Amino acid sequence: MARFIFITGGVVSSLGKGIASAALGALLQARGYSVRLRKLDPYLNVDPGTMNPFQHGEVFVTDDGAETDLDLGHYERFTGVAASQADNVTSGRIYQHIIQKERRGDYLGATVQVIPHVTDEIKSFILSDSEQHDFVLCEIGGTVGDIEGLPFFEAIRQLSYELPRGSSAFVHLTLLPFIDTAGELKTKPTQHSVKELRSIGIQPDVLLCRSDRPIPPDERRKIALFCNVHADAVIQALDAENIYQVPLSYHAEGFDRAVLDVFGLGEERQPDLSRWDEIVHRVLEPEGEVRIAVVGKYTGLKDAYKSLGEALAHGGIANNVRVATEWIEAEIFEEEGALPRLEDVHGILVPGGFGQRGSEGMITATQFARTRELPFFGICFGMQLAVVEAVRNLLGRTDATSTEFGEADDPAIGLMTEWMSEEGLQARNMNGDLGGTMRLGSYTAHLRPGSRISEIYGSLEINERHRHRYEVNSQYRSLLEQHGVIISGTSPDELLPEVLEIPSHPWFFGVQFHPELKSKPFEPHPLFASFVDAALTQSRLV
């Protein structure tokens, strides 16, 4: 039977609970344990798919088509274990399920309540499909004390009591702020946060204390004493220069050991951390640098492009260089005089996005990359706009557009009304629901023999994750080909364009899928490795 580790947070949000959970998963794996990571989000949205990336950051899409919290991306990148729909749940989904059951009459007349019905639903989510793993790590979103989080805390409290003794552990992440005027790290917020946890019946076993400087031994003893935690389970979690240092640095502080001690397994196995040593070495000691401009519309919040930033970094790891990413708001290219900002970059990437705002700026940046022979990578929306750019400027149809921006007679990009999935024919229309109705998750694409994309992948068949509602209008395919823009990848039935490339350009690709979602530090995605390589070649030209 699996052992369960519950990870909660206190004091403030944004302490890196997701990375800490992912790092713990990686450290347990390094000792040969199998892990599964799950995220429980207390908000009422059914999933984050309808949430503004500006507020909530990126939506991470799994192979099975779930739109999930971006922490699942960290989990996958650190452990290599593919996340699924069954690894992220929200209050919204729990309530949706309960209300459906109530309407069906499944509760046989009972009063449906938070305890036991909501908590039971949460517990069954945590326990489902857990048997085959050594450890299941469950991160609870938000911080202790949030009203909406209470049913989740109650559910994990009940579980730790119901599971066999010694098969669960609580890790609590807190902050030790440094107060300048006192010249001290303060432990009081941590004490209060643990008091809050204990008031709802949860005694943490391990405290992971985020701090921007070393924690003096006296302060550690104080935290241990007042929080009722062993002194060697008060772990100092210092800020890291790079997230991939986190597993090594938390390990050096005894984090995984302290967690395993709770299960009586601290001495059992030694970890093999060589792959993390290698990644950190490559990240911290690159042999060069390339500059990539990401021209998008949510560039004000880095979390909105979390996986993309990581995949670019992985492309750097593959080439032993640092990728310096310039996040540029696309709208600036809608005014005269902004293009010089792109003069000294070595590659341009137009990422996924929704809605018209900024699209003209992206098209201008794409035209710049195409005509100046700069490496160009268009992802999803970025591919669609590369088609609009080509139809306008190569085919001379200056009014080319996407129906995402309003009705059009002869759109270059149109609403995808039908497509095949494993479940059969999927159909959508203009007035349908927005949530969860896109072409989501992993789909197979076939690559054209002899194309550059097939060389990059080393394969004629690929599986990549999708999240889109619109598609390239196939009617333009042969016209585009006549102008040197070829569709070199399609859905297996050849109806949906998946990849576009310009063979005469040094590196110009558009892909309808999101390759960034599958890239890992120890397995950089071939397209990102190739893009950074092309940028490196470009950097040597200038």
Q: Which two tokens stand for residue 468?
A: 């889109």
Nearer to ligand GLN by Cβ, of 171 and 472: the residue is 472
Residue from 153, 255, 381, 457 touching ligand GLN (CB under 6 A): that is: 381
- Cα torsion angle, 291, 537, 466, 524, sign: negative
CB 18 within 8 A of CB 70: yes
Q: Using CB under 6 A, which of the segments 36-44, 190-198, 251-259, 464-472 binds ligand GLN? A: 464-472
DSSP label at 44?
S
User: What span, in angstroms and rounded, lies between the C-alpha atoms of 82 and 76?
Assistant: 6
Q: How far is the CB of 393 from ligand GLN (least distance, A)?
A: 21
Q: What residues have CB less than 8 Å from 235, skipping those under 6 apart? A: 206, 207, 208, 209, 250, 253, 254, 255, 258
Residue from 153, 470, 476, 508 touching ligand GLN (CB under 6 A): that is: 470
Residue from 354, 443, 457, 531 touching ligand GLN (CB under 6 A): that is: 354
Q: How far is the CB of 352 from ligand GLN (least distance, A)?
A: 3
Q: How far is the CB of 438 from ligand GLN (least distance, A)?
A: 6
Binding mask 302-341 for ligand GLN (x = CB under 6 A): ----------------------------------------
Which residue reads 């990578």 in tokens? 377
Q: Which residues are catalytic?
A: 380, 514, 516
Q: Using CB under 6 A, which of the segments 77-85, 150-158, 385-393, 468-476 binds ligand GLN? A: 468-476
Residue from 468, 505, 518, 525 touching ligand GLN (CB under 6 A): that is: 468
ω into 42 cis (within 30 of 0): no
Q: Which residue is nearest to ligand GLN (CB)?
A: 352
Residue from 446, 467, 505, 525 touching ligand GLN (CB under 6 A): that is: 467
Nearer to ligand GLN by Cβ, of 297 and 346: the residue is 297
**Residues binding ligand GLN: number (CB under 6 A):** 10
CB 523 within 8 A of CB 318: no
Residue from 352, 361, 411, 497 touching ligand GLN (CB under 6 A): that is: 352
Percent composition of the chain: helix, strand, coil (DSSP 3-state, to 5): 40, 25, 35
Buried-state track 346-362, b at ≥16 Cβ within 10 A, e below 16: bbbbbbbbbeeebbbbb
CB 512 within 8 A of CB 501: no
Nearer to ligand GLN by Cβ, of 255 and 298: the residue is 298
Q: What residues have CB less than 8 Å from 151, skipping those under 6 apart? A: 42, 91, 114, 115, 118, 119, 122
Residue from 58, 67, 256, 404 touching ligand GLN (CB under 6 A): that is: 404
Q: What residues have CB less than 8 Å from 430, skipping those under 6 apart? A: 415
User: Rule CB under 6 A: is residue 353 a binding residue for ligand GLN?
Assistant: yes
- Interface with ligand GLN (CB under 6 A): 352-354, 380-381, 404, 467-470
